[in-house]
Each structure stands twice: as structure tokens, then as C-alpha cells.
Structure 1
Amino acid sequence: MKRQLLLLLGVVLCACTPNPYGRGVPASYVPLLDAAFEETPRADSLRALLSDTPCEEREAMAYLIAWMPRGDRDTMSLDLLREDVHYACRARSEFEWAQKLPDSIFLNEVLPYAAVDEVRDSWRADFYRRFAPRVAGCKTLREAFEAVNRSLRDEVQVDYNTLREKTNQSPAESMRQHMASCTGLSVLLVDALRAVGVPARFAGTAAWHDNRGNHSWTEVWLDGEWHFAEYYYAGLNEAWFLADAGKASPDDRAHAVYAVSFRPTGDWFPMVWSESSREVHAVNVSQRYIDLSASRESEQVKQGTHVWVSFRMFRDARHAAESGDRVAANVDVFNADGLQVGGGRTAGPTQDMNDVLKFLLEKNHSYLFRYTNGADRPVEMKVEVGDAPMTVDGYWE
């Protein structure tokens, strides 16, 4: 019965009103394709590719050709485009959750062959073969997300390591080295999810509110809205960086949170590894993180399960009283399982004495506070958090 319905759907799609680009291509694409072909020296090859694409896959191919960056349109392997479209459409026809996706979500968040500006790899067929068996028993988008996210690290054998060759690594580059930073890890999760019809997109910030660094992660579309996730499974909307993302500045590009869009949006993603580029389209999603962080914090305080822990950094134990004794330093917090639950930068000597780095941590749990001191040596402090607010002091020297 399912196969008959899919065949019927293909017949309906192929019954579209004829236009210069053949059946299966909605009329709304005609001016977009005309403009795209006008700009590229490979117009004839791309027209032939579109014409040779099976009718039921033709709109997907038209979407990519219409909106792909000009550099890709001029140079990207046509076989790679063909493979991407075929396996994306195969996932949509095969998985129940993908069949239910709105066309706009499928085309912009499942179909695209790239997460950001990484090298264009032939990843989709490989990831389909790897992860289709993992989601074989799933019935919903959420179940499919869980299955992929939980198994991803063991499947691709890539771990976080800043010794990786470059920031914006493709799946093949990360898997060859068995290492990637947050950008490469996020690309892996985006692509693995897309390979089995789960809508996903690349997200991140060029700099946290305190300028201590940048970060990238993945957003997943479930239940009609976007959620965030990390390469190392922690669940939806559960990650160490939420409090930092909640301090984003929507009107300040350097400190806002953006999510990538394949289709143009009138805005672009600020890539710290390619600051002058404007080719990766994006939407500003800062306010969603601000609202989510505030809601999460309010709920934890209301429930009485968490307590505020302040952290101050001083020169040394003998100089730990005056504002001038303070040192600005990056501090990360980890729970007993080794998972990062927070991070921030302490106030320096010229900041107000009331300006103190704070973390909302679960009561009656152990935490590790880690930083690098003035001698460039790692320092780890074990802290037992009780029922009452507390202050922890670190020393730079």
C-alpha cells in the first residue's frame, strides 16, 4: 500500500504544467533558474542535469541549482549534485517522518549538500548507508534524531581536538583525521541527520558576550519548531552554552546567534574562519536563545533544585581583597561525569566589584572548575556544591 501511494505521488508530481524546464519543476522556479543559468558558464551542463533528473526528483534539483552559491554552480561536481538529490529524495520516500515534512523544510533543511562553507564532499550516500539501519525501527522525527545523535560518535570515530587541520572541515576531512573542533563536529551532526530525512542546520556565534571565544552547534526541527543539540549526545536543548547564548546581543553581529539557511535570507552567517565572506545565508535566532535561557533559569530557581555559585580570580592568596587584585580569565565548569555545564570569563581589575562570574548549578553535586593560570598551567578545582549560594576563589599565580 505504501509503495502504491508513493508511486501515485510521483505521478501527481510529474503532472505539473509544462514549462521550459520540464515536468516536475513548478512554474515559480522558472525565473529563478533563468537567472541562475544566466550567471554561470556551465548553463548547458546544468540544464542537461536538470533535464536528466527523474521527474519526481526534479524540483529538488531545481531548488539546489536556483539557490546554490555561485562558486558551487560554476565548479561543483555534477555527479555530487545528482547523488545528493537522489539520496535526499530516497530518504524522504522511505522514512515516515520525512514524508510528513513541509516541502519548505525538506528543501532547505534536509536537501542541501553543505552545512556551511566546508569542502563539498560525497557524504550523503555514505551516511545514508551508515545511519538508515540505525533509524529502521523509528516512527517519529524525535526517535530518529535520538538514534542518530546517540550513535554518531561511535560510527564516525571523530572526537573534539583543536589540533585538527582547519576549522570548517568537511565530514571526510574530520573522519580522516579522527578529530575536529566544534565547527567540524556540528557539520557531522547536521549531515548525519539530513541523510535520514531529519531537518537540521548549522548554528553558532562569532563571539560570546564576554569575548572569550566562539562556538558552533546544530539545530534540529522537531514538532514544528527548532531545538539545539550537540555532537556529543546530551538531549535536545541541553548544553553547557545555553546561559552564554542567552546573553547574546541580537543587534550586534559579533555577539548574536545565527542559524544557516541554504536559501537567501538577506543576512549572512559570520564565519570567524572567513570573516569577509557573505555567501552563507543565515537567520538571526538570538532572541529564541535569550528567551529559552531566561525560562530555564527561572524554572530552576523556582523549583529550588539549583543554587548560584560565584567564581572570582585573584592574583594570589595574599592579594585577594581589592578590585585591582582581580584577574580576567576563562573558566569552565564540568560535572562529575566530565560533561561541561558552563563557562565564562571572570571580571578583571577595572570592573565593578559586584561584577562576578556566576553559574547556576545543581545542589548537592560535585563540580570541577578548570582554568589555565598565569604560568600557562592547567588548574582543576573540585567544588562540592551544597544547598546555599557560595563563592569560589581561584588564583592566577
Structure 2
Amino acid sequence: MSVRDPGSGVDREGASGSGIRAYGMLILMLVVASVVPARADGGLGLQLALAGANRSEIARALELVPKSQRTGMEFLVRNMPEVDLRSVTAEFLLDEVQVGYRAWYESPWHDQVPESVFFNDILPYAVVSEERTPSRRYLRARALPLIGDAKTATEAAVRLNQTLFPEFGVRYSTERSRTDQNAMQVLEEQKATCTGLSTLLISACRSVGVPARLVGIPLWADSSGNHSWVEIWDHGWHFTGAAEPSGDHLDDGWFVERASQAQPGVPIHSIYATSWEKTGLSFPLAWDEDGSLGYVQAIDVTGRYAGAAPTPAGMARVEFVVRDEDGRRVPTEVVVRRESGHVAGEAIVFRGVTRDDGADGNDHLAALLPLQGSYVVEWGSAEPRPSRVIVPVDGMLVDLDSASGNTPPSETAKADDLRGSGERRNDAVLRWGRPAGR
């Protein structure tokens, strides 16, 4: 009969014959019907039933997992979506659990990570709805040298965010094959948007024992698009933008002010974190056009972000983008002066360089300008520089043309009328106008 080695995945040919094959099937049926249900507390029996034809694989994983890892395996299976129950192999589960436990036990910060956090935010083999392919063992081998002698989860996560993407040549691009890439697809394509970049960073963090999860908002309160980022656990949850390191610390990023405008109780403008454990709340996925991916579970974390960094009274947040003739964002110096002081070198109130297409689609050069008065915006390196006069409005996006110096007529519109979203906005996002608790 053909027996698959759970460690190697190789089918080994032993003694053959219909009697031996039938005997093997009988033993497996006994494992499924007797041994597993004996431990099938908390819904394992129901999960095995949902596995259908793949029931034997799930049962084999539960039976063969080492005793020291059994609780973790049961947690995974108990909360596993039906699509995985019907497809993942015992070999896959056993290897993911083995490497997951090793990552946790061998990390210097092991004692600071509660078992419940390990179960929910290190052990899971997936982040959202990406294809389930083995990656933890490979990522661990590549990530360990990158974190070096990191002593804390924060230090390890920061080092990974600083080095992982350059190491593999991965960059932000909307030309990726799909939104919900898995880590290996991101590495192969070397490009991703915020969801794929976050998935890679989360997967790498988990591979070295750093608890990590995806966080996102279906639609910013200013209707400018959606976004996904990463949270890691170190005596509590802390956030960072994937491939957008903020020096050597966490809890900073271009989206902080926008996230502070999240609206508790308004699902489409609320912020959610992923959870492997079933919560009864689905994570809003912008690519879930038919509602079939509701199995990705969520926790509402809006309260941790809302009101964190409001625009100061009397000020306006104004953003700038410069595009070339093909509509691509290009890095260009922008100078803002008070109109009354429009003299070279005088009355400069802001200076900065705009983002290119390697930055998230919602990440633009931003300035805080007093609401009183008008301002002259100059950009580019030509002399004389092209210029425009603006009257600040909070949330304004000033869209500039690098080639001709012309600004679209709608330059003074609110940002939500002009800005493209980091991920495509569609009915999947708009469904989140429903009451909470879906």
C-alpha cells in the first residue's frame, strides 16, 4: 500500500494487496471514528464532518501531531474555514505546526507571548484568503539572518520591515497578479500592493516567533480608498506599514492621521484586525465581490485608532501628487509659500518631495497649512517654476502635472474626489455599509 511520510510527503511503497489496503483503510476509519472524537471537544467533530472527502487528512494530522503540539493543532482545526478543511493535507498541517512551535519556543521573547496570542497570531498558516502553500520553513531560514541578535519582538519586526523587501527586491505595484497574494507569490513576482506586502511581512514575522496580524479599513472616512497594514504583539499590539519602516520604532506611518478619522459603529469606516479564532465578524476584503470569503474572521479595533491624531484646529491637511504625461507619480520637489510673500526665498511655509509609484496609492506628500489665507504652490526644477494658487481645505489633494506645469481644474477638490484607492474600490467594500455584526 502507499503510505505518505508526514515529514517528507513521499509516498513509500510497502507490502501490497487488497487485504492490506483494506486493513489500512479500516485502521484509518477507526482513527477518525474513535480516537479523534474522544478528544473532539469544542467542535472538532463538526469540523471533521465538514471536511467531507478530506476528513482522513485532518484526522491524520490530529492523530500524528506530537503531544506537546496537540493543543495548537486542535486550535487550528477547530477554527479552520471549511474551504481549508476540504483541501489541506496532513503533511502541510504537521509541518506548519512543527515550525510554528519551534519559532515560538526559540524566540528570545517567548516568555512575553501568551499562549493565546501564539495560537491566534503565530501558529496560523494563512493571513486572509491567499492560496495555501508551504512558506513558513523557507521564510524562517531567510528571516533569521535578517533579525540577527534581536532581543524583542519589536526589534525583530522593525529589522524585518527594513530589510526583507530590499533583500528580495519586492516593491509596491498595482501590476501584481492578484490582491490576495501569498508570501511566496509576492517573492516570485517581486511586487504587491498593501495587502500582499503586509502578508509577506506578517508571514516572515510569524516564522521567527513574532505575533503578527493584518489590519485594514474598507474605506477611509474621507472616501479616499482603503488600506491594509500590520500589527505585531509586544506587550500589546503595535502597528507599522509593510515596506514602510518608520526608523527603529513602531506606531508611526503616513496613514496615522487618516486612521484617526475612523468611525466606530460605522462598519465601512471602521478598522478591523484579522483573527484565526472564530469571532462571528468577517474581515472586509475589497476583492470579495460575491461574499464567498466571509470565513476570514475579524476583530473590530477602531477604538485603538479613532481620534489618535486629529488635524489641529484651524489647520488643513493638504496633500500633493505630481504625475508625468503617462499618469505615473514622480518624485518632485514642492514648495508652498504664503501668497502675500511670493518672493523667491521668502515666506516658505512648507517644502517636500512627492511620492513615486513605489509608494502606496494613498500615500502622498502632506502638509498642514493654516486655513486662513491663500498659498502659492511651486513644483519641479525648471526656472521659473510653474506655480498655482490654492486656498486650503482639509482633505485637499493637489494634483500637479510634471510635464506642462498644468494642474487639473479640480485641484481644489476634496481628496475623496480625486485620489485612487490603494486597493480597488468595489461592491465588496460598499457592502460594509451594513450594520455591525455581519
Q: TM-score, normalised by structure 1?
A: 0.71
2: distance between equivalents of 1:111 and 1:215? 25
Report the CA distance shift for 1:56/1:212 in structure 2 as closer, same or farther (over 3 A): same
Hey, what does 2:184 align to over in structure 1? 172
2: distance between equivalents of 1:372 and 1:343? 14
Deviation at residue 148 of structure 1 after TM alignment: 1.5
1: distance between equivalents of 2:224 and 2:171? 22
Deviation at residue 342 of structure 1 after TM alignment: 5.7
Report the CA distance shift for 1:93/1:311 in structure 2 as closer, same or farther (over 3 A): closer
**Paired-residue identity, %:** 29
Deviations 1:150-207 (A, max 9, x none): 1111222210001111111111222211110111001111111111000100111111
Deviations 1:99-119 (A, max 9, x none): 431110000001111111111
Q: Compare CA radii of gyration and give the structure with the larger one.
A: 2
* Residue from 294, 311, 316 that aligns with 1:278: 294
Deviation at residue 395 of structure 1 after TM alignment: 6.7
Conserved 8 A contact 2:183-2:199: yes
Hey, what does 1:150 align to over in structure 2? 162
Query: What are the equivalent positions in structure 2 for 1:118-129 lying under 5 Å apart?
Result: 118-129=130-141
* Code of the aligned partner of 2:45: D
Deviations 1:73-100 (A, max 9, x none): 1112332222211111111121121343
Deviations 1:203-224 (A, max 9, x none): 1111111222111111111123
Conserved 8 A contact 2:316-2:393: no
Deviation at residue 132 of structure 1 after TM alignment: 1.5
2: distance between equivalents of 1:115 and 1:175? 16
Deviations 1:254-285 (A, max 9, x none): 21111110111121111110141311100111
Unpaired runs of 5+ residues, structure 1, are 1-18, 302-306, 314-332, 345-353, 360-368, 382-392
* Residue from 40, 47, 50 that aligns with 1:39: 50
Deviation at residue 343 of structure 1 after TM alignment: 6.3
* Residue from 229, 236, 254 that aligns with 1:240: 254
Hey, what does 2:281 align to over in structure 1? 267
User: 1 or 2 for the larger relative contact order (CA 8 Å, sep ≥6)?
Assistant: 2
1: distance between equivalents of 2:74 and 2:45? 11
Q: Aligned pairs, how many?
A: 316
1: distance between equivalents of 2:106 and 2:129? 29
1: distance between equivalents of 2:222 and 2:180? 23
Hey, what does 1:212 align to over in structure 2? 224
Report the CA distance shift for 1:372/1:258 in structure 2 as closer, same or farther (over 3 A): farther
Unpaired runs of 5+ residues, structure 2, are 1-33, 321-349, 368-390, 414-438
Conserved 8 A contact 1:206-1:272: yes
Hey, what does 1:390 align to over in structure 2? none
* Code of the aligned partner of 2:278: P
Deviation at residue 232 of structure 1 after TM alignment: 2.3
* Code of the aligned partner of 1:63: F
Q: How much is the aligned-residue C-alpha RMSD, in angstroms?
A: 3.4
Query: What are the equivalent positions in structure 2 for 1:297-376 lying under 5 Å apart?
Result: 308-309=315-316, 311=318, 335-336=352-353, 338=355, 340=363, 356-358=393-395, 371=399
Tell me, what secondary structure is at the counterpart of 1:356?
coil
* Residue from 305, 308, 312 that aligns with 1:289: 305
1: distance between equivalents of 2:404 and 2:92? 45
Report the CA distance shift for 1:144/1:51 in structure 2 as closer, same or farther (over 3 A): same
Tell me, what secondary structure is at the counterpart of 2:228?
strand
Hey, what does 1:140 align to over in structure 2? 152
2: distance between equivalents of 1:45 and 1:77? 5
Query: What are the equivalent positions in structure 2 for 1:59-138 lying under 5 Å apart?
Result: 59-138=71-150
Deviations 1:280-319 (A, max 9, x none): 100111121114224xx67xx9xxxxx9455499xxxxxx
Conserved 8 A contact 1:371-1:378: no
Deviation at residue 55 of structure 1 after TM alignment: 1.5
Deviation at residue 229 of structure 1 after TM alignment: 3.6
